[in-house]
């Protein structure tokens, strides 16, 4: 009897490990697949997820997102660009303000077409802040601009917040430079996505990851 119980425990443990492996692998594959998509339907707004800025100057990751959003805007995907993101302790500028200023000064976007939402220290807070502004402004649909590996989680959080979301990830910038970088981002995003689905919470991390 003891042998049979021991064998059953081993089998159950093995099945549990296999199930975890399958969930992680399927999530990583879904993140990779979503990263390869580029959906840009006519929408109410283009939403640029914030990343680091330095004294009002967007980081290379953030600049790549802003340039991609600018191209979408020029193609007529949406009449408004929403920049979102707060600021770290000691910063003078928010990510949202820095992004909007960059688009106005370097991209020539009319300030009437820019809607900065200077809130959020991670993706979840940012999406909830954008959702509140969408409700106030009567907006419903958005094309999200972020890094490829971040797209699936950003879409999920936006939809959970009540936004009809598609994503058009940028193909430029440090997040897509090497296969090693891509693998590390996918690995980190897999953990972050599974944590969100299990707990409804976000996780602090590198810019664009939380």
Residue 2 within a domain: no
How distant is the alpha carbon of residue 176 from its chain centre? 14
Going by pLDDT thresholds of 50, 70 and 90, the confidence category of residue 171 is confident
Judge whether residue 67 has pLDDT over 90. yes
Judge whether residue 175 has pLDDT over 70. no
Residue 95 within a domain: yes
pLDDT of residue 174: 66
Judge whether residue 161 has pLDDT over 50. yes
117 within 8 A of 130, measured Cβ to Cβ: yes
The pairing of beta strand 57-58 with beta strand 53-54 = antiparallel
Model's pTM, two decimal places?
Answer: 0.85
Computed on alpha carbons and rounded to an integer, the radius of gyration of the chain in Å comes to 19
Judge whether residue 210 has pLDDT over 70. no
Pair of tokens at residue 165: 């979301």
Judge whether residue 176 has pLDDT over 70. no
Work out the average pLDDT over 135-149: 95
Residue 190 within a domain: yes
Work out the average pLDDT over 47-55: 90
Q: Percent of the chain beyond pLDDT 90? A: 58
Residue 18 within a domain: no
Residue 14 within a domain: no
pLDDT of residue 189: 92
**DSSP classification of residue 85:** -
Work out the average pLDDT over 171-178: 69
Q: How does pLDDT run across 92-139, given as a tens digit for each residue?
A: 889 999 999 999 999 999 999 999 999 988 999 999 999 999 999 999
Going by pLDDT thresholds of 50, 70 and 90, the confidence category of residue 172 is confident
Residue 68 within a domain: yes
Residue 46 within a domain: yes
List the domain range (segments joined by +) for residue 71: 35-199
pLDDT of residue 177: 63
Higher pLDDT, 174 or 137: 137
At 173, which helix (H) or strand (E)? Answer: none
Residue 15 within a domain: no
Residue 39 backbone zone (phi > 0: left; psi -120 to 50: alpha; other: beta)? beta
Instruction: Give 49's strand partners.
Output: 84
Which of 131, 101, 99 shows the shortest CA–CA distance to 207?
A: 99
CB contact set of 125 (below 8 Å; sequence gap of 6+):
86, 119, 202
CB contact set of 173 (below 8 Å; sequence gap of 6+):
60, 61, 63, 64, 65, 147
Domains contained in the chain, number = 1
Residue 145 belongs to domain with CATH number: 3.40.50.620
30 within 8 A of 152, measured Cβ to Cβ: yes
């Amino acid at each position: 009897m003891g042998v049979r119980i021991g064998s059953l425990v081993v089998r159950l443990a093995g099945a549990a490990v296999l199930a975890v492996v399958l969930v992680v692998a399927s999530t990583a594959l879904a993140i990779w697949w979503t990263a390869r998509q580029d959906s840009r339907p006519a929408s109410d707004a283009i939403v640029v997820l914030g990343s680091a800025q330095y004294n009002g100057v967007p980081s290379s990751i953030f600049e790549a997102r802003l340039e991609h959003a600018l191209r979408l805007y020029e193609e007529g995907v949406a009449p408004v660009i929403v920049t979102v993101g707060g600021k770290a302790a000691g910063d003078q500028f928010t990510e949202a303000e820095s992004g909007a200023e960059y688009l106005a000064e370097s991209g020539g976007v009319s300030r009437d077409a820019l809607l900065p939402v200077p809130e959020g220290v991670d993706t979840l807070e940012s999406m909830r802040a954008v959702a509140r502004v969408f409700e106030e402004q009567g907006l419903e649909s958005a094309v999200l601009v972020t890094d490829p590996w971040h797209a699936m989680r950003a879409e999920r959080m936006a939809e959970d917040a009540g936004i009809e979301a598609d994503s058009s990830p940028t193909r430029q910038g440090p997040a897509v430079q090497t296969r090693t970088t891509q693998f590390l981002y996918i690995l980190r995003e897999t953990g972050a996505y599974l944590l969100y689905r299990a707990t409804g919470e976000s996780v602090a991390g590198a810019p664009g990851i939380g």
